[in-house]
Structure 1
Amino acid sequence: MKEMQADVVIVGCGAAGLSCALTSLEAGKSVVMLERANEAESGGNTRWTEALLRLKSETEVTDDFVDEFTRNSGYNIQQDFIEATTREYSTWPSVVKALSFLDPEVLNAFAEGVPEVLKWLQDHGIKVVDSYYPYPLYWAMMSIYGGGLAIIETLTPIVKKKGAEVLYETTAVGLLRDDDERVVGIKAVDANHEGIKIHAASVVLACGGFEGNPQMVVQHIGPAARYMRPVARGGYYNKGEGIRMALDAGAAPAGDYADCHRQMIDARSCMQEALVNCFPMGVIVNKDAVRFMDEAPSEAWRIQEDPCRFVTEQRDGIAYLILDQKINDYPNWRTMVRSDLPPVSADSLEGLAQKLELPVAKFVSTLSAYNEACVPGPFEPSTLDGVRTEGLQPPKSNWARPIDKGPFLAYPIMSSITFTYGGLKTTANAQVVNNSGMVIPGLYAAGETVGILYGLYVGAVSVLRALTFGRIAGKHIAERRSLVN
């Protein structure tokens, strides 16, 4: 078995791992990075993401940043536990330190760490620009210029130039621990399944969630999750070993293991993030040609998770978005569709049903009932217009216009997993906490390996948290001594 030594070993070469690596290198630490993929596909989800950022300026988080996280920070937490978090962290009961919820110490570190990390990244050539997310209601925000790929292509050469050794096609399989259960390195296997032991004073798990592991997905999210797939190729590399090896070492779990962030995609497409986000403007039916949800109850970006859950629960996890030519009344609606395949088209509803292999009579009956329930009103695509159905279950609460102007269009849709929520509990310094509320010496985690989300995704924060806590981990590691031979 090959043996190596470094001050820091980082599992994962995405935004979190690269941020931590560069910070550590700038502090004079020696760094080894492990990456399951080959170099051309390295970086996990980061390589494929649009890298939207919940910012109001190049270095400021939005005004609702803390409030949105606070509203989605955990479930049914005892009031005395909440009250304990108003005191100094050192006085918190151990059960609270290990509790599965987003504690204010971590949230404050996140919000306060964003300006510094973005300024630091811009100094290294990464640009932040104005952007928006392609939903029916325009949502202005910011993003990394060039998306997550720009993070990979900018930072990877820098960390290599500064001396980091990057081991591609190498998978971490376990933590090295000493007699006092301190983490002192990691075990891995290379592409030839030859073992490697890397001895290090600090180990950083920045290797994503478990959306690429069908067993873990179904185990934690439930049977219907078998119908979902990662939204992009990078997610397939996220097998959950980082989470599992830490849990095996006594780490406390955190985040919502029963849920994940989902996006609606074209079920036919092999394209990365083949999004179909115009669903609130049409009608959705399942394989039995039955409607099963309100397609537009509120702002689409707020209710994205629920529509995706409802689709996943249908037979085979497949549904069909039905549109007519009135969709063209919505300016630039095609920007909300990122599939490389055109919609299924037919001159009649009967013909569309036949092409979709849906029961024709039921399909026509469902659309007729919907059309008859639509209450006339002025169509206003830039706001929730309140144009709704009456006497129909489930209702449609906004943009409810009859589907009656051919040719008719359809997209077969499914829910995809953007990333999982369940992960590890950490301190504000990105140190992993055990089930007794104590820090596991030598072990850090950042990015999607950490559990901070519950139920509803706080949009446009995934890349931010990876970059921020990767840097926080690196800065804390910089204060630790190097491994003594």
Structure 2
Amino acid sequence: MNSSSTKNHSGQDADVLVIGGGNAGFCAAHAAAARGLNVTILERGEGDRAGGNSFFTAGATRIAHDGLDDLLDLVEPDARHELSVVPPYSADEYRADLERVTEGRTDPEMADILVSEAADSLRWLKSLGLKYRLMYERQAYKRPDGSYLFWGGLHVGNVDGGVGLIADHTRVAKENGVTILYGVRVLDLITDEGTVCGVKAEKDGNSLTFQAKSVIIASGGFEASPKMRGEYMGERWSNAKVRGTPYNVGDLLTAALKIGAAKGGDWQTCHSVQWDAFHPVNESNIELTNRLTRQSYFLGLLINKDGKRFLDEGADFRNYTYAKYGKVILEQPDSLAFQIFDSSLRPHLRAEEYDMPGISVEEADSLEELANKLGISPSTFSETIHEYNEHISDEEFDPTVKDGKSSDVKPPKSNWATPIAKAPFYAFPVTCGITFTFGGLKGDRDGRVLNEEGNPIPGLFVCGEALGGLFSTNYPGGSGLAAGCVFGRRAGNAA
């Protein structure tokens, strides 16, 4: 993506200003442009730094569907389709997953809208020119007969991941007359007798103002602000690594609160994952993006610097635990843990993450040697693993289902427990990578920002990660991009 040049746009008029050029912002822009409105996107990033957190994702998007036949009109053709089993994922399952993983804290109306409109929103985007595919590398296992079995309710994603998502969005927006101005940091909102009518911004040290009939905040949360992380989530979060854009520092959240907007959702929790602890560029890496995650953890063990396990690696499918386990690792000594595998498990690890350039890994021919390399007591480390090995049940190992193959230790491993016994042994050091914060602004069903009395603030809308209410503590994988599509489209239709 090329940066657009920006002259002095002071006083420039637009029908709709969209603040943030990520997935949600583009969906809002597409919807508004389709209504014949004059739309301008103000994006802080330039070049490869544009696209917000969406650029850094794998592109996975959770929708309800009736199986493979129901998806063929949405996804790109692939010869593997004839060999694939894609279990249906119903709206009821989607809704139940939202309730379960957020521990009942999801906003009921928002959840219903997301579940009922996500699939239609993706088909709308496909009609505009975005491309989707089945996610074989991330969400399917190849079986001995050569067929593929999908698992975990999350099956569809963008062609070329987040990079492809932003490239497609950008092309479609320009084709439909949307103006995109890069390198513009929006700092404040302009109001006239209580109505939002524009923004104050800066570019290259120059102050700018933009006037509009409506402003849509799509500029993300506050995960890249150490100050706001400390204020709302605790000082320990200063140790977290920022996975995505460095620009989500809460500028527009602060600006909206200043004019009376109400907070929405859970400001104390966030999406956080296991993240390469020692890669030399393990924050906002635009080349490796999502590949610094380590998401095959459910197959092995997680052990901290004290040589102890501290969570149930196999509690549920990865899609339902990965976004909350970063926080648990943050709480370990030095905010560090090690994913442990043996040679029998190593071939099952996700290649795009565990075979990437510059990966942090230690390898040894014995558990004691591996412990020494990690700076862990060899006796404690070995005892932890031997105890786990000795208490593994007899069920058959099957990573495509919750197989019940457990180890009856404390904490237990509830599924996918196999012995760590065959040399060589591997340790992948992981820390906490923060993705996005769950707290945002309170909005109505169409993204109108509400004040403390529950009334809309005229002219102000919100979508994407800046809209609070859907998630708390955890989230089902792929529902963040889905929410951006659904609520971005709604905001663009209402603005």
Same fold (TM over 0.5): yes
TM bracket, shorter-chain basis: 0.7 to 0.9
Q: Does 1:118 align with 2:122?
A: yes
Gaps of 5+ in 1: 77-100, 478-485
* Farther-moved stretch of structure 1 (147-156 vs 440-449): 147-156
Tell me how far 1:338 sits from its aligned partner.
6.3
2:107 alignment counterpart:
102
d(CA) in 1 for partners of 2:29, 2:395: 56
Contact 1:212 1:239 in 2 (8 A): yes
Q: Does 1:267 align with 2:267?
A: no
Match of 2:52 among 39, 44, 47: 44
Q: Give deviations 1:392-443, integer Å, cap 9, x for gaps.
A: 3223233333322211111001221221110111111111111100000000
Q: Work out whether 1:401 is the aligned partner of 2:401.
A: no
Is the 2:62–2:478 contact (alpha carbons within 8 Å) kept by the matching residues of 1? yes
Contact 2:263/2:439 (CA < 8 Å) preserved in 1?
yes
Instruction: Return the alpha-carbon distance in structure 1 between the equivalents of residues 102 and 314 of structure 2.
Output: 25
In structure 2, runs of 5+ residues without a counterpart are 1-7, 75-87, 142-149, 282-287
Spell out, residue by residue over 1:193-214, the C-alpha distance to the aligned partner (whole angstroms, 9 max, x if none).
x111111110010011111111
Taking the aligned partners of 1:107 and 1:205, their CA distance within structure 2 comes to: 20
| Distance verdict in 2 for CA 1:343–1:184, change over 3 Å | same
Q: Match of 2:250, as an amino acid?
A: G
Query: What is the alpha-carbon distance in structure 1 between the residues aligned to residue 463 and residue 163 of structure 2?
Result: 19
Out of 28, 33, 42, the position equivalent to 1:25 is: 33
User: Is the partner of 2:134 in helix, strand or coil?
Assistant: strand
How far apart are residue 289 of structure 1 and its match? 1.6
Distance in 2 between the 1:286 and 1:383 partners? 27
Q: Deviations over 1:121-145 (max 9, x none)?
A: 2222212322254589833511122
Report the counterpart of residue 204 of structure 1 in structure 2: 216
TM-score scaled by length of structure 2: 0.83
What is the CA distance between 1:72 and its match in structure 2? 6.0
Match of 1:187 in 2: 200
Q: Please tell me whether the aligned partners of residues 326 and 434 of structure 2 are also in contact (alpha carbons under 8 angstroms).
A: no
Change (3 A) 1:38 1:323: same
1:366 alignment partner in structure 2:
384
Per the TM alignment, residue 314 of structure 1 is displaced from its structure 2 partner at its CA by 0.3
What corresponds to 1:427 in structure 2? 444
1:237 is paired with a residue whose SS is: coil
Q: 3-state DSSP class of the match of 1:153?
A: helix
What letter is aligned with 1:261?
H
Other-structure match for 1:256 = 266
Cα pair 1:277 1:337 within 8 Å, conserved:
no
Task: Report 1:285-324 matches (<5 A).
Answer: 285-324=303-342
Distance in 2, matches of 1:115 and 1:61, equals 11
**Pair 1:241–1:344, CA change in 2 (3 A):** same
Confirm whether residue 167 of structure 1 aligns to residue 178 of structure 2. Answer: no
**Aligned position for 2:251:** 241
Aligned length: 446
Judged with a 3 Å threshold, the aligned counterparts in structure 2 of structure 1 residues 464 and 4 are, in CA distance, closer, same or farther, namely: same
Aligned residues of 1:260 and 1:418 also touching (Cα < 8 A): yes
Partner of 1:352: 370
Range with bigger deviation, 380-389 or 437-446: 380-389
Q: Does 1:437 align with 2:466?
A: no
* Cα distance change, pair 393–158 in 1 and its aligned pair in 2 (3 A): closer
Tell me which of 13, 16, 28 is aligned to 1:8.
16
Deviation at 1:157, TM superposition (A): 3.2
Partners in 2 of 1:402 and 1:152 — Cα distance? 42
SS at match of 2:344: helix
Greater mean alpha carbon deviation, residues 258-267 or residues 23-32:
23-32
Q: Is the 8 A contact 2:101 2:320 kept in 1?
A: no
Alpha-carbon distance in structure 2 between the residues aligned to 1:144 and 1:405: 38
User: Partners of 2:382 and 2:100 in 1: how far apart?
Assistant: 42
Are the equivalent residues in 2 in contact too, given 1:206–1:446 (CA < 8 A)? Answer: yes
| Distance change in 2, residues 1:32/1:355 (3 Å) | same
Is 2:271–2:324's contact at 8 Å kept on the other side of the alignment?
no
TM-score, length of structure 1 as denominator length? 0.84
- CA 1:116 to 1:277, structure 2 compared with 1: closer, same or farther past 3 Å? closer
Which amino acid is the alignment partner of residue 408 of structure 1? F
Q: How many percent identity over aligned positions?
A: 30
Task: Give the Cα–Cα distance (whole angstroms) in 2 for the partners of residues 326 and 74 of structure 1.
Answer: 35
8 Å CA contact retained: 2:277, 2:360: no
Larger mean CA deviation between 106-115 and 340-349 belongs to 106-115
Of the candidates 158, 161, 176, which is equivalent to residue 190 of structure 2?
A: 176
SS of the aligned residue for 1:119 comes to: helix
CA offsets 1:353-399 (integer angstroms, 9 cap, x no match): 22222233332333333334445554344433333334x32232333
Name the Cα RMSD after superposition: 2.6
SS in 2 for 1:326: coil
